[in-house]
Structure 1
Amino acid sequence: MPKHLVFRLAVITASAVIGLTAVSSTAEAAAPPLSHPRIVAHFDRPAGQVAESVVVRPNGSADVGLILSRQVAHVTLGGRVEVLATMPLPADGGVHTPGPGAASVTGIERTEDGTLYFLYSAGDEHLTGLWKLCPGGKPERVAALPAASFLNGLARDDRTGDFYLTDSTQGRIWRVGSHGGTAELWAAGEDLAPVHFFGANGVKVHNGAVWVSNIDRGTILRIPLTGRDGTAGPHQVRASGLDSVDDFAFTGRGDQLLAALNIPSQVVLITPGKADRVVLDERDGLQNTTSLAVDGHTVYVASGALTTGGDANLLTARLDRLGRPIHPRNGSPMVSTAGSTTMGP
Structure 2
Amino acid sequence: MGAYILKRLISAVPVVLGITVIVFVIMSLIPGDPATAILGSYATPENVAKLNRDLGLDRSLPEQYFIWIGNMATGEFGRSYSLNRPVLDEVMERFGATLILAGTALVLCSVLGIVAGVISAARQYGLADKAITFAVLIGISIPSFFLGMMMILLFAVDLRWFPVSGMYLPYGGGDLQDLLWHLAMPAAALAVVATGVVARLSRSAMLEVLRLDFIRTARAKGVGERRVIWGHALRAAMVSIIPVIGVQAGFVLSGAVYIEIVFQWHGIGEMLVNAILKRDILLVQGGVVVVATCYVLFNLVVDVCQSLLDPRVKA
Q: TM-score, normalised by structure 1?
A: 0.22
For normalisation by structure 2, the TM-score amounts to 0.24
Q: Choose between structure 1 and 2: higher strand proportion.
A: 1
Structure with max Cα Rg: 2
